[in-house]
Structure formats: structure tokens, C-alpha cells
A = this chain, B = another copy of it.
Amino acid sequence: MEDRARTRLAQRIRFLRRCRGWSQEVLAELSGLHRSYIGSVERAERNISLDNIERIAHALGVPIPDLLAEPEGTPPAERGS
């Protein structure tokens, strides 16, 4: 069960970050988190807390629900790339 939300979040963060042309370092800097932490979140390894989800959403300029929405309407290129 957990893996679904983690995987969805991971894919959305990576997708939105790449849409902005940002490296993990840039997103880390903007969200006040460490680059390796961003990396582990994007690999769905991390049971991230709400406070840090909020930091990342804020850095990306999207509402939190956008990071956790069902994947309908997101382009296939988002996955596994």
C-alpha cells in the first residue's frame, strides 16, 4: 500500500522538477533539503514526512495535492526516465 503513494510522489516530484529544468541540487537548495534526500525521495525509498512534502511542494510552486494525485493525465515520459 505504502509503495503506491511513495511511487506516485516520487514520479510527480521528478516530473515537475525536470519540467522546470532543475537538477536535484536546485530542488534541494530551494526546498532547504539535502540533494541525497531528494534523490532518495525520487527513488521512493523514503517515508517522507508531511513537513518535507510541503517544503518540496512550495519549492515547486504547486499545491500538495498535485504531488499526490492519481497519475491520470500525466505523460508516459514521466515514468522510469
Contact = CB atoms under 8 A, between A and B. Distances in A.
Interface in A62-78: 63-66, 68-70
B68 A5 contact: no
B50 A2 contact: yes
A60 interface: no
Copies of this protein in the assembly total: 2
A63 B9 CA distance: 13
Given A6-B50, A64-B68, 7 more contacts: A1-B55, A2-B55, A4-B54, A63-B68, A64-B65, A65-B69, A68-B68
Interface of A: 1-2, 4-6, 9, 47-51, 53-55, 58, 63-66, 68-70
